[in-house]
Structure 1
């Protein structure tokens, strides 16, 4: 049985390739148009606090629907806010 020695530089190269692959997979994953999102998903997308999300609902910036005690948001509405935030 032959032994193969793995160096630190080999591990570092592997780590970089793995991170690049993960970023490409995660970066390409976006919710479909028309999809409904829950509050925790919106907070993660916009990187905002629960209070800020509530303010966006209350002042009418972010339309929502409440079904059985759960608040849903349209992805299209979130995309508009993301576009405005990036400008």
Structure 2
């Protein structure tokens, strides 16, 4: 079995590819539809996420969902909501074709 060695050039190439991918990902977060508001009120977030007021309050208290408060109104950044969805994304495990197969 031949040994594979990483060179400095390999690492530079990987770094460039990673930076390009990160840049594209960040750009996609910033491409909010023109009609989309950046900051949403509590009622809009509850409707969007299909959660109750108490669930939204729980997300605030547990510091899961960042918010801003002006007067008595809470505002939530659309990008923070997207980021939380991305962080909590689960990928399905591959199904075994043979139930006795081990990985």
Of residues 47, 52, 55, the one that matches 1:49 is 52
When residues 30 and 86 of structure 1 are mapped into structure 2, their CA distance, relative to the original with a 3 A threshold, is farther
Q: Is the helix fraction higher in 1 or 2?
A: 1
When residues 36 and 66 of structure 1 are mapped into structure 2, their CA distance, relative to the original with a 3 A threshold, is same
Cα-Cα RMSD: 2.2
Name the CA distance, whole Å, in 2 between partners of 1:83 and 1:29.
22
Name the CA distance, whole Å, in 2 between partners of 1:30 and 1:79.
17
Name the CA distance, whole Å, in 2 between partners of 1:48 and 1:61.
14
Q: Cα distance, 1:53 vs. partner?
A: 0.2
**Does 1:68 pair with 2:71?**
yes
Name the CA distance, whole Å, in 1 between partners of 2:87 and 2:49.
11
When residues 30 and 58 of structure 1 are mapped into structure 2, their CA distance, relative to the original with a 3 A threshold, is farther
- List runs of 5+ in structure 1 lacking aligned partners: 1-27
Q: For this pair of structures, how many residues does the alignment match?
A: 58
Q: Cα distance, 1:83 vs. partner?
A: 3.3
- List runs of 5+ in structure 2 lacking aligned partners: 1-32, 91-103
TM-score, normalising length: structure 2 = 0.48
- Taking CA–CA contacts closer than 8 Å with sequence separation of 6 or more, which of the two structures ends up with the larger relative contact order? 1
TM-score, normalising length: structure 1 = 0.56
